[in-house]
Amino acid sequence: MTAGFQGFVSPALRARLRDLRLVARRPAVSPGFGTHHSRSRGTGLEFSQYRSYEQGDDPRLIDWKLHARSDRFFVREAERDSPLEAWLVIDATASMTQADAARPGWSRLEAAKVVAACVIELALRQGDRFGIVTSGGDGVAPVPAAAGPRQRDRCLLQLHRLHAAGRWPVAAGLRSMGELIGPGALVLMLSDFFDPAAVELAEKLAAARREVLTLQILTVEERDFSFRGGHRFTDPETGDELLTDAGSARAGFIERFAAARRALAARLASQGVRHVEYFLDEPPDAPLRLLFGSGSRAGNPPAGA
Amino acid sequence: MSFGLLLPAGLLALFALAIPLLLHLTRRTEQQPTVFAALRWLQASQRPRRKVRFDEWLLLVVRLLLLAVLALLLARPVLHGTDDARAWVVVAPEIGRAAARASFDAPDADWRWLAPGFPVLDADAPAAVQPTSSLLREVDASLGANTALTVLVPRHLGGLDGERPALRRKVDWHIVDMETPPAAAAPRAPTVLAMRFGDADAPALRYLRAAAAAWQAVGVTGGPGRVQVTVAQSTEALGPGTAWLVWLVPGALPPEIRDWIAGGGTALLGASTDSAEAAAGTALWRDASGDVLVRGRALGRGRAMQLTREFTPAALPQLLDADFPDRLRALFEAPAAPDRAFAEAHAPRQGGPTLPSVPRPLQPWLAALVAVLFVAERWLATSARRGPSS
**Contact across the interface for B44 and A244, Cβ inside 8 Å:** yes
**Is A297's Cβ below 8 Å from some Cβ in B?**
no
Q: What is the per-residue pLDDT for B330?
A: 84
The rounded radius of gyration (Å) of the Cα atoms in chain A is 23
Euclidean distance between CA atoms B321 and B313, whole angstroms: 10
Which H or E run contains B171? strand B171-176
Q: State the pLDDT confidence band at B222, using cuts at 50, 70 and 90.
A: very low
Residue type, B287: D
Residues of chain A with pLDDT under 50: 1-5, 296-305
**Contact across the interface for B39 and A104, Cβ inside 8 Å:** no
Q: What is the per-residue pLDDT for A3?
A: 42
Sign of the alpha-carbon dihedral angle for B271, B277, B279, B285: negative
**Contact across the interface for A253 and B43, Cβ inside 8 Å:** yes
Both ends of chain B: CA-CA distance in Å?
Answer: 48
Nearest chain A residue (CA) to B34:
A233
Residues of B in contact with A94 (CB under 8 A): 37
Q: State the pLDDT confidence band at B378, using cuts at 50, 70 and 90.
A: very high
Its ipTM equals 0.71
**Contact across the interface for A234 and B31, Cβ inside 8 Å:** no
- ∠ CA A40-A44-A47, rounded to 5°: 90
| Cα→Cα distances B128→B124, B125, B188, B288, Å | 12, 8, 20, 42
The arithmetic mean of pLDDT across residues B253-277, rounded, is 85
The residue of A91, A106, A232 whose CB has the most chain B CBs within 10 angstroms, and thus the best one to mutate to test that interface, is A232
Euclidean distance between CA atoms A213 and A297, whole angstroms: 13
Burial class (CB within 10 angstroms; exposed 0-12, middle 13-18, buried 19+) of B244: buried
What is the percent of chain B where pLDDT is above 90?
10
User: Which candidate, B263, B252, B248, B244, places its Cα nearest to that of B328?
Assistant: B244
pLDDT in tens, B159-195: 888 888 888 888 889 888 877 766 655 566 777 888 8
Q: State the pLDDT confidence band at B310, using cuts at 50, 70 and 90.
A: confident
DSSP-based three-state secondary structure for B264: coil
Q: What is the per-residue pLDDT for B31?
A: 67
Q: State the pLDDT confidence band at B270, using cuts at 50, 70 and 90.
A: confident
Dihedral of the alpha carbons of A177, A180, A185, A191, in degrees to the nearest 10: -30
Residues 6+ apart with CB under 8 A from B38: A194, A222, A253, A257
- ∠ CA A247-A252-A255, rounded to 5°: 125
Give the β-pairing of A99-100 and A74-79: unpaired
pLDDT in tens, B111-151: 899 888 888 888 888 887 788 888 988 888 888 777 888 99
**Contact across the interface for B46 and A243, Cβ inside 8 Å:** no
Residues of B in contact with A257 (CB under 8 A): 38, 41
Which H or E run contains B273? strand B273-274
pTM over 0.90: no
* Maximum mean pLDDT: which of B11-25, B166-180, B233-247: B11-25
Q: What is the per-residue pLDDT for B51?
A: 63
Q: Are A115 and A71 in contact (CB under 8 A)?
A: no
Give the β-pairing of B33-35 and B266-269: unpaired
The arithmetic mean of pLDDT across residues B264-279, rounded, is 84
**Is A243's Cβ below 8 Å from some Cβ in B?**
yes
pLDDT at B278 over 90: no
pLDDT in tens, B316-331: 888 888 888 888 888 8
Euclidean distance between CA atoms A195 and A215, whole angstroms: 14
Nearest by CB to B34, from A234, A240, A248: name it: A234
**Is A49's Cβ below 8 Å from some Cβ in B?**
no
Residues of B in contact with A95 (CB under 8 A): 37
Euclidean distance between CA atoms B266 and A221, whole angstroms: 96
**Is B54's Cβ below 8 Å from some Cβ in A?**
no
Residues of A in contact with B32 (CB under 8 A): 232
**Contact across the interface for B37 and A236, Cβ inside 8 Å:** yes
Q: What is the per-residue pLDDT for A4?
A: 42
